[in-house]
Amino acid sequence: MAGAVASPAGAAKRWRFREPSALGGFWPSFGFVAVYMSLIVLIPLAALVLRPWEIGIDGVWRAVSSERTVAALRLSFGAAAVAAAVNAVFGTIVAWALVRYEFPGKRVVDAFVDLPFALPTAVAGIALASIYAPNGILGAAFGAHDIRIAYTPIGVMIALVFIGFPFVVRAVQPVLADLEREVEEAAATLGASRWRTIAQVIWPSIAPAMLTGFSLAFARAVGEYGSVIFIAGNLPMVSEIAPLLIIIRLEEFDYAGAAAIGLAMLVISFALLFALNALHAFMIRRGGA
């Protein structure tokens, strides 16, 4: 594709520490970023990385590869991915409705979107558990059709959908608002059906924002604890999430084992988010924006 930016022939791009800029300000901002990131993110994470090795590589491997840990990790990442995907679809639809249409109560709905951010997660967890428990309103309705939600992975996903919901809406909303109406009108005058316009014109424009929302919702869901444990029932191998397993290890005074699971989550999360960011950068470049 001609879209790729070719570097001048022969001039192998030399890695440079500092981009020359007439406006300056590089060192203060770089220094600030380095110090702040270290204090807030890197040093605490370094402690996590260093902690587990007191039980030896074998010990770490055993802690991480035990059947129960693997099941917990699989549930945590799997449910988070499904929940983020659900949010990507429905969050986008909500954002679309909020941007494109006027309806009574629109401002109230807009404000409601942020509630999962504001609520203590334990409160949300208890509320969800009481609704979806076999004797709760929705739990009973589903139970009549032999579908159990509370105390199963489905319950975990519902809690994760709940807490991840605002991310996609808030990521997609401003991009949708900025979409030029004329571009859609142009597609219509060219004979495109509404579906073709959505698939080929609107979707490529908002996909990067959807991916951003997906990544944020996913990251949040992976680490989520409070809202999940009540509805999950926490049966080992079935509905026990990795963060809960870490707490259990801590309560057993197995600090190294807890840190080992934490380290595994850290590595997987970093790899996934790095890949998502790379995909995002690729989409932006393709968009020619």
Closer of 204 and 223 to another protein (Cβ):
204
With respect to another protein, which residue has the nearer C-beta, 65 or 200?
A: 200
Q: How far apart are CA 174 and CA 168, in angstroms?
A: 11
Q: Where does this chain bind another protein (CB under 8 A)?
A: 1-3, 180, 182-183, 185-193, 196, 200-201, 204-205, 286-289
b (16+ CB within 10 A) / e for 138-166: ebeebbeeeeebbbbbbbbbbbbbbbbbb
Q: Would you say 135 or 189 has its CB closer to another protein?
A: 189
Nearer to another protein, 19 or 182 (CB): 182
Burial letters 72-84, b for 16+ CB under 10 A, else e: bbebbbebbbbbb
In the block, residue with structure tokens 């959908």: 161
Estimate to the nearest angstrom the gap between the alpha carbon of 110 and the chain centroid.
Answer: 21
Contact (CB, 8 A) for 243 and 159: no
Mention every residue, 6+ apart, whose C-beta is less than 8 A from residue 211.
88, 276, 279, 280, 283
Q: Minimum distance from CB of 184 to another protein (Å)?
A: 9
Shortest Å, Cβ 282 to another protein: 12
Cβ contacts of 133 within 8 Å, gap of 6 or more: 139, 150
Shortest distance, position 153 Cβ to another protein, whole Å: 37
Residue whose CB is less far from another protein, 187 or 260: 187
Does residue 178 contact residue 171 with C-beta atoms inside 8 Å? no
Neighbours of 136 (CB within 10 A): 19
Task: Specify the residue, 34 or 177, whose C-beta has the smaller distance to another protein.
Answer: 177
How far apart are CB 52 and another protein at their closest, in Å?
45
Judged by CB, which is closer to another protein: 5, or 108?
5
CA gap 286, 3 in Å, rounded: 7
Shortest Cβ distance from residue 210 to another protein (Å)? 14
Cα separation, 222 vs 243, whole angstroms: 8
The pair phi, psi for residue 180, each rounded to 5°, is -70, 130
Percent of the chain as helix, strand, coil, to the nearest 5: 75, 0, 25
Q: 206 or 232, CB closer to another protein?
A: 206
Q: How far is the CB of 190 from another protein (least distance, A)?
A: 4
Q: Supply the minimum distance, in Å, between the C-beta of residue 285 and another protein.
A: 10
